[in-house]
Chains A and B, each alone.
Chain A
Amino acid sequence: MIQFSQICKRYPGGYEALKNVSFEIAEGEMIFLTGHSGAGKSTLLKLIAAIERPNSGSIVVKGQNVSSIKGGALPYLRRNLGLIFQDHKILFDRSVFDNVMLPLRICGFDHRESAKRVRAALDKVGLLKREKNNPIALSGGEQQRLCIARAIVNRPSILLADEPTGNLDKDYASDIMGIFKSFHQVGVTLLISSHDESILRQFKGRVLALKNGELCP
């Protein structure tokens, strides 16, 4: 499903975020990406969504070579991915409902069908009663769940989550991990990054550990 071969990523200024990283993720796997902050977790996730481009090596996602993808094909790649961002990237000028609606509007879905899907996604993360609220009224954990609802409303086959439990206390964090587990059970491929290993211990799944931009064996 996702294949990295000998990926190197150097940022302008010479900082090497990833050094010769190779791994493979099969369909339906749930993978945890760990490492200290600055180890290159976010960079790795950004490379999959072609938000950043590698300096060398190749990345193949669902049979498509992402490292050399053209600008015009980029949006269609991203529609297959559910992205959960470290900084949420929620829009505060519209309601919770409209935030989750955005991906469907972008894909040009039928309006009535979209509304159903949005409510289903909100229901899944337990925010259905807050659909008319402005996201500013949501707590940190709820904002995180809103971000998840927006990522899954498109029913992507791959879900990438960057520090989804970052600033949350333990109960909220295991709540969120529970939601991810339910996606895993219906066959979604998940790649979840976290620096908090205590959370990861609660769940079974392969772990990719990054250290200073290199993959630990």
Chain B
Amino acid sequence: MKNWLISHTHVLLFTLRRFLTTPLSSLLNILVIGIALSLPAGMYLMLKSVQSLAEQAVGTPQISIFLSMDASNDEVTHIGKQLKQHASINQVKFVPRDQALEQLKQTTGLADVIGGLAQNPLPDAYVIYPKISDAQALEALRDEFKKWPKIEYVQLDSAWARKLEAMLKFGLLAVLILAVLLSFALIAITFNTIRLQILTQREEIEVSKLIGATNTFIRRPFLYFGFLQGLLGGATAWFIITISLRLLNNNLSELTHLYASSFTLHLPSIGDSSILLLLSAYLGWLGAWLSVAQHLWQIEPR
């Protein structure tokens, strides 16, 4: 057991040394793998961030009801009462037109423009939170309110989120396809690197076979190399993603501030990171294994 550990440590050190003997090409290989992986992984994380935003919106459906400008105070309170009594409504919030204007002034930075207006262009509005969240029932509810008198416009606020969610699903599928394709690229890169290594070490392999090396022994350093190259490539991808998302978040915070939102892109979690590293290491190992299986039998001592 101890000897086994020592020989594995030996192989590991040997593999690391092999990286250092050709620093530039090793670095380039790792960088290529890192970039190839960071594309789908980064896009996946961005889509996930947007998706969680959409899910929040879908989770609490809300309907905005805008009243006609000519609705009198009595009519407004009457509609309010009717809404409160409605069976499928949980909560009703009244947004008077003055308050809406004030809010618009504060949150959009358009105070100057609004101040220049002769009169308040906004109608009174009710924001209601229905008990149901089923899309069809919500649409039925919207159509019902539309028929009420003195109601100008009814907006189902979760509709956009649903559309966004469907688009995101489509986007995630596209990312998945990209990830599969680039995984093949990663396997191909490792396959080729190992092939070159096997060719340059032909003599050593031949001699080792002649003096009693098992195939496992000969395969081991190449598998370690593929594994390590994949792992380092994965780590590079992680750094690329983390740094890029941080940069994007810095710029995004200025942008979202303007829209009074606090949307940020999620950085890779510990779970995401370990999946990325494990997957890249595994793909590197797989590429090495395929390459060794393909080329090692060709080297038979004569």
Contacts and interface: CB of A to CB of B under 8 A. Distances in A.
A84 B7 CA distance: 26
Nearest to A153: B211
Interface of A: 49, 51-52, 72, 75-79, 83, 85, 89, 91, 93, 102-103, 105-111, 150, 154
Contacts of A78: 210-212
A87 B212 CA distance: 18
Contacts of A109: 3
A85 B301 CA distance: 12
A51 B212 contact: no
Given A49-B210, A89-B210, A106 B217 contact: yes
Nearest to B297: A71
Nearest to A89: B207
A107 to B, nearest CB: 7
Contacts of B217: 106
Given A111-B6, A111-B10, 11 more contacts: A51-B210, A75-B212, A83-B210, A85-B210, A89-B203, A89-B210, A106-B208, A106-B213, A108-B3, A110-B3, A154-B212
Contacts of B212: 75-79, 103, 106-107, 154
A10 to B, nearest CB: 16
A75 B10 contact: no
A97 B206 CA distance: 19
Interface residues of B, number: 19
A89 B214 contact: no
Contact of A89 (B6, B10, B206): B206
B198 to A, nearest CB: 15
Q: Which 3 A-B pairs have the closest CB atoms?
A: A79-B212, A78-B212, A106-B213
A102 B4 contact: no
Given A51-B301, A51-B302, A89-B206, A103 B211 contact: yes
Interface in B208-267: 208-214, 217
Among A49, A78, A106, A111, chain B packs the most CB atoms within 10 A around the CB of A106
B102 interface: no
B272 interface: no
B203 A91 contact: yes
A47 B209 CA distance: 15
Contacts of A111: 6, 10
Contacts of B209: 75
B207 A102 contact: yes
Among B6, B10, B206, B210, chain A packs the most CB atoms within 10 A around the CB of B210
B12 to A, nearest CB: 14
A75 B301 contact: no
Contacts of B210: 49, 51, 78, 83, 85, 89
B6 A102 contact: no
A85 B211 CA distance: 11
Contacts of A52: 302
Contacts of B10: 105, 111
A54 to B, nearest CB: 15
B204 A105 contact: no
Contacts of A76: 212
A102 B10 CA distance: 13
Nearest to B7: A108
Contacts of B4: 108
Contact of A75 (B6, B213, B302): B213
20 contacts: A49-B210, A51-B302, A75-B212, A75-B213, A78-B211, A83-B210, A89-B206, A89-B207, A89-B210, A91-B203, A102-B207, A106-B213, A107-B212, A108-B7, A109-B3, A110-B3, A111-B6, A111-B10, A150-B211, A154-B211
B211 A106 contact: yes
A77 B209 CA distance: 11
A75 B211 CA distance: 7
Given A51-B301, A108-B4, A108-B7, A83 B203 contact: no
A171 B4 CA distance: 44
Contacts of B204: 91, 93
Nearest to B302: A51
A78 B301 CA distance: 13
A83 B211 contact: yes
A49 B207 CA distance: 13
A85 B204 CA distance: 14
B280 to A, nearest CB: 30
